[in-house]
Structure 1
Amino acid sequence: MIEGSQYELQCDVQNVAPVHLLTVNWYKGQHLVKSVESDHHSSITPVNYSNTLWISTSKDDDGVQYRCEAELKLGPEGPQPPPVVTSDPLNITVHCDCPIKLQPVKLAVEFGASASANCSTTINHHGMGWEASEGAVDMVDDVQFITWRVESLTHWDIEPICYINTNKQCELTLQVTVYKRPDRVSISTVGHTGPMIEGSQYELQCDVQNVAPVHLLTVNWYKGQHLVKSVESDHHSSITPVNYSNTLWISTSKDDDGVQYRCEAELKLGPEGPQPPPVVTSDPLNITVHCDCPIKLQPVKLAVEFGASASANCSTTINHHGMGWEASEGAVDMVDDVQFITWRVESLTHWDIKPFCYINANEQCELTLQVTVYKPPDRVSISTVGHTGPMTEGSQYELECDVQNVAPVHLLTVNW
C-alpha cells in the first residue's frame, strides 16, 4: 500500500445463523477499531454476510496486522463467552519514498479548538512548507523541522499537506478529523403519551442534535444501568454538523414499571481522539406500566395487506359497564354485558390504523391492537447506472435496484 492513501478491507463471514445476532469486530493489532452489529433481519437460516472497513495508511502501519472476528451475541441464555470465529491476519506493507515524517500522523480536533502538527526531514538542500486552508506555512529553505499551527480551527474539511522540494516535490497529508459534540441528546416515546400497557410494544426515539462527523457517531441505549443496544451510524453524507435519530422498540411487562431508559451519543474518534471518547447523555425517560386492564386481544399483532380483510377479538372475564372498539375503520359501539367483541374490516384502506379495545369497569381502560399495513412492490427492476453496452474486465460498475411502490419501507430488505 502507498502511504497516505485509503484502502477498503472486507470481512466475509460464511454460513452463519442467525445473522441478526451477528457482530463483526475489527482489530488493528490488539486494538479494537470498530464493532458493527448486523442489521439484516431477513433470515434465521445460515447466510453469508460481509462488512467493510476503510483504512488510511501511514509509515507506522508498515507490518501491522488487521483481523476481523464474527461474534454471535446470544444473550445470557447463550454460551459464555459468546461464540467467536476469527479470520487469519491480514499483513499490511506500506511503501513510502517521500523523506518526510509527520508527528502526529492523525489528528482529531474539536471545531474551534487549536491544532498543530510537526513535519520533519533528515536530508539537506531542500525547501519545505505546509499547504492548508488554515495555518499555511510558506516554503523555507534548508530546515529539518516545520510546524503547522491553527489557534482556532474553523474548516470542517481541512487537509494540511507538508511538502518538500529536493530533486522533485513530494508531500504527505495530515489526516484531520474535525468533530463537534452534540448540542443536545433527548429521548422520547413515538406516538404515545401517558402510562404504557403491559404486554404492548412501544417505539423510543433518540434525537442527537448538531453533531459531526455523523459517520463516527454511535448511539448507546440503556435500560437502567444495562446496555441494551449499540448502533453505529451508517450516514456518510456529511462531515459538517447534522441531526441524527435512532429508534428502539421495547415490549413492556409488570417489572418495567418505574424503569428508566436513556440514550447516549458517543463519538468514536479513534486513538488520536480524546480518551475516553466524547459522550453526551439524554435525560432519563421514566416508564410507567399499567397492568390492571382486564382485557385480552387475540391476536395482539396483525400484518395486513392494504385492501385485504382484517379482524381481531377482544375478551374479558369480568363484569363491566360496557366494552367496544374505537378505530378509523371498523369501530364497534359500546355493548353491555358481553365477554367477547370483534373488530372487523372487509377491506382495510387506512395505512396508520390503530384500533383499540376499551372496557368500562370501575374506570375505563384500553388496549391497542398493533397493525402493520403492508403493500408488496408493484415492480422490482435492476439496471446499470450511467453505462450501456459491454463491460470492461477489471473495471467497476454500479448496479441499481429500484423497488416501486412498497410499504412499509422500514421493513424492506433488498437482497443482491
Structure 2
Amino acid sequence: MCQRTLFGISLGLLCLYLVTGTNASSNLRLDPPRIVASFGSSISANCSTDVADYLIMGWEAPIGTSEKTGPKMVTWIVGNLTEWDMKPSCFINVRDQPLPEELPLSLTIYKIPDSVSISTVNHTGPMIEGRQYELQCDIQNVAPVGNVTMKWYKGDTQVGNTTFSESSKTPDNLLATLQISPSRDDDGAQYRCKAELDLGPEGPQPLPAVMSDPLNITVHYGPEISCYSGNFTAIRNEEFTPNCTVQGHPTPEITWYKEGVTVSFPKKMDINDAGQYILNASSYTHAIHPVEIQVLYAPFEIKELEKTTINQNYDGVLKCSSVSKPRPQYNWTYPPADNVKVENVDAVSLLHLDYITGHNTGNYTCTAYNHLGETSQSVQVEMGATQTSSASITTVNHSGPMIEGTQYELQCDVQYVAPVQHITVHWYKGTTRLNSQSFNLSQTGNKYQTNLFSTLRVFSNRTDNGAQYKCVAELTPKADGRHRISVTSEPLNITVHYKPVINIEKLPSVVPVFRGYQEVLVCEAEGYPAPTIIWTFKSHMVMGENYTIEEATNENVGLYTCTANNSVNTTIIVVKVILKEFPTSNVSISTVGHTGPMVEGRKYQLQCDIRVPTLRLLSVIWYKGGTQIANKSFTDSTKAAAVHLSTLQISPKTDDNGAEYICVAELELNWHVDEARSSLEMKSQILGITVRSGKRTTFWAIVGPSVGLAVVLILGYALKMKIG
C-alpha cells in the first residue's frame, strides 16, 4: 500500500515512484537534519531544494501533514507524535531523471521511565561479610533502549555503570544487576540506581533521569578467632588455658572440643590431653579454629631393646627408643671393645657392632633422659649363625612388553649382611656376560649399608624377544678378599614388541593394471603383536592382506592405501594403480556402394571406419592430398570397444583423377596410454580415386532416350545378321 504525505502529485504517480526505487539525494536539504522529541509532542521539519524544474516534492511519513511553505520548500508537521518506529523522508522527482531522489530525516523518539526500583536478587535480611550478592535495578517503560545508561551509587559515590545494546525503539522494560561483596564497613550503607537517557547534543539537557529509592543493607560478620599461637605447650600435671580471643557481630558463644567432647579450661593437663583442640564460636553462623597442645613429660620405659643374637664377622645393631617430650637423649654402657659406635637418629639410639667378635657378647644397658626425668633397660647379646644375602633384577619404571628401538634400564638390587668391603655385579643375557660393575665400599665409607643396586641400559631388538637377563653379585666381606660370597638373581624374561614393516618387494609404489583384467594387491606386514591390515580406496575399506580389483577400469585406478597397525605403531604405504595397456584400434577408408573408377560429376560417399576402445571424444578429419576438407566430432560414453563411422560426400572432377583421400581419427581416451598422454591420433590407409570424363553420355542427351534406344536395337540386329 502506498503511504506518502505528498504535495501536488496523484496517488498513481506515487505508487510508480515507490516501485521504481529511490536515489540518495544531493538536491535536497533538511532543516533540522535530526530531531529528538518525546512521545506525544509536536514537531516539524522543512525540506528545500535549489532545483527549479522539478515534477514533485513532498514528505513520506505515516502520520502528519506535508505543506508547501515556499516555492522550493515543503514542511512536515506532526501535532501529536504517536508513531514509534518511523522513518520519515523527503523526496523529489526531477525532470529528465529516471529515478526520484530521497533524503531521510533522522528522528529519535524517547520516553523517560515510568519508574526505577532497586532490590536484592534471591535474598532478604542482613548480608554476610565477604559473600557475593546481586542487586537488581528495574526500569519500566523507557525508550529508546539503546540510549539508556544505568548508574549505580553507594551513598553519593558512583560504583557501577551499565549500558544497553538493544536496538528496540519502542518502550521496553530493562533490568541491570550489580555484584557486591559487602564488608563490615558497609553496614547501614544505602544503594541506589539511576536511569539516564543520553540522546546526543540534539536531546534535552540536562539528561532526563529517574532515581530509585534507596536500598539500606545490614552486614553481619564474624565470628573471628585469633589465637596467640597455633601450638601450645603444657606441662604434665599443671593447669593450662589456651590464649585465644573471639570477635564478631552479634557476639558469639565460645565452646572448646577435643575429639568431639566438650572441654573446659583451665584444665590440669595429662599426657593423654595432648592433641588437637577445636575452638567453636557461634552466632548467626559459626567459626572453628584448631590448636595443637603438646604436653611435656619425662621418658617412659625403653622400647625395641631386646635380647639379640649377633653373627661373627658381620655387623650388628642394637636399637633403643623411648617416648618423652622433649625427645630423650641416650647413654649406653657395654663390654669394652674398639668396634662399637653409637648413633642417635630421630629420637632413636643405635649401637653399631663392626666386625663382630666374641668380645662383643655380654650385657648392654641403654638410659633415656631429658630435663624431666630418665629411665634405663639392659639386654644380653649372644653369638649366632651367619645370615644370607640375595640379589634380584627388575625393570626401572616399566612393566610389560618392551618396544623395539627403545632404551630401558635394568636394575639389580643386592641385599647383604654388612659389613662388606667389595661387591662386583655381573650382568648376563642368557649365558653371555654383558657388563660388570664394581663397588669398593671401604673407600666410600658405605661398608655398613645393607643394600645397593647396579643398573644396565639395554636397547630392545626383536631378536631379544624371549631373552633372559640375570645379575650375579660377588660380595667380599673382609679386606683380605677371603670368604667371597656369590648370589644370583632369578632370571628376568623379556618380551619385545615391534612395529609393522610392510614387504615392499610384494607391494611396489606403482602397480600397472590392464583394462578388464583382475589384479590382486598384496600387503604383507611383519610385526609383533601381529598387525591388523586394512586396505582403503576412496570410501571403500577391505580388511586383510589382499585387495582384489575384479575388473580394471578407469573408476578403480588411483591411490590405494595399505595400513598395518599394532599396539606399537602404524605403518602406511600408498600404492598408485595405473592402466598401462595400449588399445587395439584401427582406422580404414572405403567407398560406399561403389568400386572401380568414378564418373565426373556424379556423387559418391566415402566412409571412415574407426574401431577404438572406450573414449570420451572422437574427432574425424578428412584430407584430400595434404588439404583438410572436413572435420566431425562426437562422443561415446560406452565402456566397451565400438565401431564409429564418419562419411564424406564428394562429386569428383576430371582434375581429381589420381587424387588421394585419407581420414585421421583423433581420440581422447578414458584412460592414459602412458604417464603423460591421454589422447591418440590414428590414420587410415590412402584411398586413391580414378575419374573418367562424363562426355560419353552426350549421345543420349542429344537424340533423347527413345531415339537412342531404337538406334541401339537396329545396330544390334544388323550385327546379328552379319554374324549369322
TM-score (norm. length: structure 1): 0.48
Larger helix proportion, structure 1 or 2? 2
The one of the two structures with greater contact order (alpha-carbon pairs below 8 A, sep at least 6) is 1
